[in-house]
Amino acid sequence: MVSRNEFVNTLVDLIMKAETELSKDVLEVIKKAEKEEEYEIAKVVLQTIIKNVEVALERRIPICQDTGILVFFLDVGIDAKYNFDIYDAIREATRIATKEVPLRPNAVHPITRVNSGDNTGIYVPVVHTSVVEGDEIKVTVMPKGAGSENVSKLMMLLPGEVEKIPEYVVEVIRNAGGKPCPPVFVGVGIGGTFDECAVLSKKALLRDVRYMNDFERKILDMLNSLNIGPMGLGGKTTALSVLVETAHCHTASLPLAINVQCWANRRASTILG
Protein backbone atom coordinates (compact mmCIF):
# COMPACT_ATOMS: atom_id res chain seq x y z
CA MET A 1 0.00 0.00 0.00
CA VAL A 2 1.24 3.48 -0.89
CA SER A 3 1.38 5.71 2.17
CA ARG A 4 0.58 9.41 2.13
CA ASN A 5 4.03 10.30 3.39
CA GLU A 6 5.70 8.23 0.65
CA PHE A 7 3.45 9.79 -1.98
CA VAL A 8 4.16 13.39 -0.87
CA ASN A 9 7.92 12.89 -0.59
CA THR A 10 8.08 11.19 -3.99
CA LEU A 11 6.19 14.06 -5.61
CA VAL A 12 8.45 16.68 -4.06
CA ASP A 13 11.44 14.87 -5.58
CA LEU A 14 9.57 14.57 -8.89
CA ILE A 15 8.86 18.30 -9.00
CA MET A 16 12.52 19.01 -8.25
CA LYS A 17 13.55 16.76 -11.13
CA ALA A 18 11.12 18.36 -13.59
CA GLU A 19 12.24 21.86 -12.67
CA THR A 20 16.00 21.27 -12.72
CA GLU A 21 16.70 18.84 -15.55
CA LEU A 22 15.46 18.11 -19.05
CA SER A 23 14.61 14.58 -20.13
CA LYS A 24 16.93 12.79 -22.56
CA ASP A 25 14.64 13.14 -25.58
CA VAL A 26 14.18 16.90 -25.17
CA LEU A 27 17.88 17.59 -24.66
CA GLU A 28 18.77 15.38 -27.62
CA VAL A 29 16.64 17.33 -30.11
CA ILE A 30 18.01 20.65 -28.80
CA LYS A 31 21.59 19.45 -29.28
CA LYS A 32 20.72 18.12 -32.74
CA ALA A 33 19.24 21.50 -33.68
CA GLU A 34 22.40 23.27 -32.50
CA LYS A 35 24.55 21.09 -34.74
CA GLU A 36 22.33 21.64 -37.78
CA GLU A 37 21.61 25.36 -37.29
CA GLU A 38 23.25 27.53 -39.97
CA TYR A 39 22.53 31.03 -38.61
CA GLU A 40 25.34 32.21 -36.33
CA ILE A 41 23.17 34.05 -33.79
CA ALA A 42 20.72 31.12 -33.69
CA LYS A 43 23.58 28.70 -33.04
CA VAL A 44 24.87 30.88 -30.19
CA VAL A 45 21.41 31.00 -28.62
CA LEU A 46 21.09 27.21 -28.77
CA GLN A 47 24.56 26.81 -27.25
CA THR A 48 23.51 29.14 -24.42
CA ILE A 49 20.37 27.08 -23.85
CA ILE A 50 22.44 23.91 -23.59
CA LYS A 51 24.81 25.59 -21.12
CA ASN A 52 21.81 26.79 -19.12
CA VAL A 53 20.56 23.20 -18.83
CA GLU A 54 23.99 21.97 -17.71
CA VAL A 55 24.30 24.63 -15.00
CA ALA A 56 20.76 23.99 -13.71
CA LEU A 57 21.49 20.26 -13.38
CA GLU A 58 24.87 20.80 -11.76
CA ARG A 59 23.59 23.30 -9.20
CA ARG A 60 20.13 21.73 -8.79
CA ILE A 61 18.38 25.01 -9.53
CA PRO A 62 15.35 25.64 -11.77
CA ILE A 63 16.04 25.72 -15.50
CA CYS A 64 13.90 28.86 -15.83
CA GLN A 65 12.86 31.58 -13.39
CA ASP A 66 9.25 30.95 -14.48
CA THR A 67 8.75 27.67 -12.65
CA GLY A 68 5.19 27.59 -13.98
CA ILE A 69 1.86 26.32 -12.83
CA LEU A 70 2.19 22.63 -12.00
CA VAL A 71 0.07 20.31 -14.14
CA PHE A 72 -0.20 16.69 -12.98
CA PHE A 73 -1.33 13.65 -14.96
CA LEU A 74 -2.37 10.68 -12.82
CA ASP A 75 -2.86 7.13 -14.07
CA VAL A 76 -4.41 5.35 -11.10
CA GLY A 77 -4.54 1.57 -11.29
CA ILE A 78 -7.96 0.13 -10.55
CA ASP A 79 -6.35 -2.18 -7.96
CA ALA A 80 -4.00 0.43 -6.48
CA LYS A 81 -4.07 0.49 -2.68
CA TYR A 82 -3.97 3.79 -0.80
CA ASN A 83 -6.05 5.33 1.99
CA PHE A 84 -5.55 9.08 1.64
CA ASP A 85 -6.82 12.02 -0.42
CA ILE A 86 -4.51 12.04 -3.44
CA TYR A 87 -5.46 15.58 -4.45
CA ASP A 88 -4.77 16.97 -0.99
CA ALA A 89 -1.40 15.16 -1.00
CA ILE A 90 -0.54 16.75 -4.34
CA ARG A 91 -1.32 20.18 -2.93
CA GLU A 92 0.91 19.49 0.09
CA ALA A 93 3.77 18.33 -2.16
CA THR A 94 3.38 21.53 -4.18
CA ARG A 95 3.57 23.69 -1.07
CA ILE A 96 6.69 21.87 0.14
CA ALA A 97 8.34 22.05 -3.29
CA THR A 98 7.63 25.78 -3.48
CA LYS A 99 9.93 26.24 -0.48
CA GLU A 100 12.49 23.53 -1.14
CA VAL A 101 13.16 23.65 -4.91
CA PRO A 102 12.36 26.63 -4.68
CA LEU A 103 9.50 27.55 -6.99
CA ARG A 104 8.42 31.08 -7.79
CA PRO A 105 4.92 31.68 -6.37
CA ASN A 106 2.86 31.93 -9.56
CA ALA A 107 -0.72 31.11 -8.52
CA VAL A 108 -2.99 34.16 -8.25
CA HIS A 109 -6.76 34.62 -8.00
CA PRO A 110 -7.96 35.39 -11.56
CA ILE A 111 -9.91 38.51 -10.56
CA THR A 112 -8.27 39.95 -7.43
CA ARG A 113 -4.77 38.84 -8.58
CA VAL A 114 -3.93 38.03 -4.96
CA ASN A 115 -1.03 35.53 -4.85
CA SER A 116 -1.52 32.44 -2.70
CA GLY A 117 2.22 32.36 -2.06
CA ASP A 118 2.60 28.59 -2.38
CA ASN A 119 1.48 27.69 -5.94
CA THR A 120 -1.84 26.27 -4.73
CA GLY A 121 -5.31 27.73 -5.07
CA ILE A 122 -8.69 27.11 -6.64
CA TYR A 123 -8.18 24.04 -8.87
CA VAL A 124 -4.40 24.61 -8.69
CA PRO A 125 -2.25 22.64 -9.09
CA VAL A 126 -4.06 21.21 -12.09
CA VAL A 127 -4.67 17.44 -11.95
CA HIS A 128 -5.90 15.22 -14.81
CA THR A 129 -6.81 11.71 -13.65
CA SER A 130 -7.32 8.48 -15.58
CA VAL A 131 -8.29 5.10 -14.12
CA VAL A 132 -6.25 2.33 -15.74
CA GLU A 133 -5.57 -1.38 -15.36
CA GLY A 134 -3.13 -2.53 -12.68
CA ASP A 135 -2.23 -1.80 -9.09
CA GLU A 136 0.20 1.11 -9.54
CA ILE A 137 -0.10 4.88 -9.59
CA LYS A 138 1.81 6.70 -12.31
CA VAL A 139 2.37 10.41 -11.73
CA THR A 140 3.65 12.84 -14.34
CA VAL A 141 4.24 16.51 -13.57
CA MET A 142 4.52 19.23 -16.21
CA PRO A 143 5.51 22.74 -15.06
CA LYS A 144 3.82 25.12 -17.53
CA GLY A 145 5.15 28.65 -17.84
CA ALA A 146 3.01 31.61 -18.88
CA GLY A 147 5.09 32.81 -21.84
CA SER A 148 4.21 29.77 -23.90
CA GLU A 149 0.77 29.20 -22.39
CA ASN A 150 -0.33 32.73 -23.27
CA VAL A 151 0.17 32.18 -27.01
CA SER A 152 -1.63 28.82 -27.05
CA LYS A 153 -5.00 28.68 -28.82
CA LEU A 154 -8.25 26.68 -28.81
CA MET A 155 -10.61 26.98 -31.74
CA MET A 156 -13.81 25.28 -32.86
CA LEU A 157 -13.51 24.57 -36.57
CA LEU A 158 -16.07 23.39 -39.07
CA PRO A 159 -15.80 19.72 -40.13
CA GLY A 160 -14.82 20.80 -43.64
CA GLU A 161 -11.68 22.55 -42.37
CA VAL A 162 -9.64 19.40 -41.71
CA GLU A 163 -7.19 20.20 -44.49
CA LYS A 164 -6.57 23.65 -43.00
CA ILE A 165 -5.31 22.35 -39.64
CA PRO A 166 -1.59 22.69 -40.52
CA GLU A 167 -2.22 26.28 -41.65
CA TYR A 168 -3.93 27.13 -38.36
CA VAL A 169 -0.99 25.73 -36.39
CA VAL A 170 1.43 27.78 -38.49
CA GLU A 171 -0.68 30.91 -37.94
CA VAL A 172 -0.52 30.47 -34.15
CA ILE A 173 3.27 30.11 -34.14
CA ARG A 174 3.74 32.97 -36.63
CA ASN A 175 1.67 35.29 -34.44
CA ALA A 176 3.53 34.14 -31.32
CA GLY A 177 6.91 35.13 -32.74
CA GLY A 178 9.57 35.24 -30.03
CA LYS A 179 7.12 35.47 -27.11
CA PRO A 180 7.14 31.76 -26.11
CA CYS A 181 10.98 31.55 -26.07
CA PRO A 182 11.47 29.47 -29.20
CA PRO A 183 12.48 27.01 -30.42
CA VAL A 184 9.16 25.61 -29.25
CA PHE A 185 7.51 22.26 -28.83
CA VAL A 186 3.96 22.21 -30.16
CA GLY A 187 1.25 19.95 -28.76
CA VAL A 188 -1.84 19.65 -30.96
CA GLY A 189 -5.19 18.24 -29.90
CA ILE A 190 -7.69 17.41 -32.63
CA GLY A 191 -11.24 16.32 -31.92
CA GLY A 192 -13.00 15.45 -28.71
CA THR A 193 -14.92 18.30 -27.09
CA PHE A 194 -14.03 21.91 -26.23
CA ASP A 195 -12.37 20.86 -22.97
CA GLU A 196 -11.01 17.43 -23.94
CA CYS A 197 -9.23 18.88 -26.96
CA ALA A 198 -7.21 21.24 -24.77
CA VAL A 199 -6.15 18.43 -22.46
CA LEU A 200 -5.12 16.33 -25.46
CA SER A 201 -2.84 19.12 -26.69
CA LYS A 202 -1.04 19.15 -23.33
CA LYS A 203 -0.82 15.36 -23.09
CA ALA A 204 0.78 15.34 -26.54
CA LEU A 205 3.77 17.18 -25.05
CA LEU A 206 4.44 14.21 -22.76
CA ARG A 207 5.36 11.99 -25.69
CA ASP A 208 8.93 11.26 -26.75
CA VAL A 209 9.64 14.34 -28.87
CA ARG A 210 12.04 12.49 -31.15
CA TYR A 211 9.36 10.44 -32.86
CA MET A 212 6.85 12.04 -35.24
CA ASN A 213 4.64 10.72 -38.01
CA ASP A 214 4.47 12.22 -41.51
CA PHE A 215 1.62 14.60 -40.62
CA GLU A 216 3.52 15.94 -37.62
CA ARG A 217 6.76 16.33 -39.58
CA LYS A 218 4.90 18.19 -42.33
CA ILE A 219 3.73 20.78 -39.81
CA LEU A 220 7.20 20.95 -38.22
CA ASP A 221 8.77 21.72 -41.62
CA MET A 222 6.19 24.45 -42.20
CA LEU A 223 6.98 26.02 -38.83
CA ASN A 224 10.72 25.95 -39.43
CA SER A 225 10.28 27.79 -42.73
CA LEU A 226 8.97 30.82 -40.80
CA ASN A 227 12.52 31.94 -39.94
CA ILE A 228 11.47 33.05 -36.46
CA GLY A 229 14.38 31.11 -35.00
CA PRO A 230 15.67 30.72 -31.43
CA MET A 231 14.34 33.52 -29.20
CA GLY A 232 12.81 35.14 -32.28
CA LEU A 233 16.18 36.28 -33.61
CA GLY A 234 15.99 34.38 -36.89
CA GLY A 235 17.19 30.94 -37.91
CA LYS A 236 16.01 27.61 -39.26
CA THR A 237 15.02 26.30 -35.80
CA THR A 238 11.64 27.75 -34.84
CA ALA A 239 10.18 24.49 -33.56
CA LEU A 240 11.78 21.29 -32.32
CA SER A 241 8.84 18.88 -32.47
CA VAL A 242 5.13 18.78 -33.30
CA LEU A 243 3.08 16.16 -31.46
CA VAL A 244 -0.56 15.44 -32.28
CA GLU A 245 -3.20 13.58 -30.25
CA THR A 246 -6.71 12.89 -31.56
CA ALA A 247 -10.13 11.91 -30.23
CA HIS A 248 -13.42 11.14 -31.93
CA CYS A 249 -15.72 14.15 -31.99
CA HIS A 250 -19.28 15.14 -32.84
CA THR A 251 -20.19 14.89 -36.51
CA ALA A 252 -20.87 18.64 -36.62
CA SER A 253 -17.71 19.68 -34.79
CA LEU A 254 -13.92 19.87 -35.18
CA PRO A 255 -12.17 21.19 -32.04
CA LEU A 256 -8.51 22.16 -32.46
CA ALA A 257 -6.17 23.03 -29.59
CA ILE A 258 -2.60 24.21 -30.04
CA ASN A 259 -0.57 24.14 -26.84
CA VAL A 260 2.77 25.85 -27.21
CA GLN A 261 5.69 24.89 -24.98
CA CYS A 262 9.01 26.75 -24.82
CA TRP A 263 12.33 25.02 -25.48
CA ALA A 264 12.29 23.85 -21.84
CA ASN A 265 9.69 21.13 -22.28
CA ARG A 266 9.84 20.18 -18.61
CA ARG A 267 8.15 16.99 -17.39
CA ALA A 268 9.01 14.04 -15.17
CA SER A 269 7.24 10.79 -14.28
CA THR A 270 7.35 8.17 -11.55
CA ILE A 271 5.43 5.04 -10.60
CA LEU A 272 4.34 4.12 -7.07
CA GLY A 273 2.92 0.86 -5.83
pLDDT digits (tens, 9 = 90+) for 2-33: 999 999 999 999 999 999 999 999 999 999 99
pLDDT, tens digit (0-9, with 9 covering 90-100), for 71-80: 999 999 999 9
Confidence of residue 91 (pLDDT cuts 50, 70, 90): very high
Mean pLDDT of 81-96: 98
For all residues of the chain together, what is the average pLDDT? 98
Percent of the chain with pLDDT over 70: 100
Query: What DSSP character marks residue 108?
Result: B
**pLDDT for position 187:** 98
Contact 96, 134 (CB under 8 A): no
Percent of the chain with pLDDT over 90: 100
* Sequential DSSP letters for 38-99: -SHHHHHHHHHHHHHHHHHHHHT--SSS---EEEEEEEEETT--B-S-HHHHHHHHHHHHHH
**pLDDT for position 217:** 98
Give Rg (Cα) of the chain: 19
**pLDDT for position 108:** 98
Q: What is the pTM of this model?
A: 0.96
- From CA 94, how far away is CA 52, in angstroms rounded? 24
**pLDDT for position 114:** 98
- From CA 208, how far away is CA 241, in angstroms rounded? 10
**pLDDT for position 205:** 98
Confidence of residue 257 (pLDDT cuts 50, 70, 90): very high
Handedness of CA 179, 197, 199, 75 (dihedral sign): negative
Contact 84, 4 (CB under 8 A): yes
pLDDT, tens digit (0-9, with 9 covering 90-100), for 102-142: 999 999 999 999 999 999 999 999 999 999 999 999 999 99
Helices (H) and strands (E) in the chain, counts: 8, 8
**Residue 93: how many CB atoms within 10 A of its CB?**
25
Confidence of residue 196 (pLDDT cuts 50, 70, 90): very high
pLDDT, tens digit (0-9, with 9 covering 90-100), for 45-73: 999 999 999 999 999 999 999 999 999 99
Mean pLDDT of 80-99: 98
Mean pLDDT of 206-216: 98
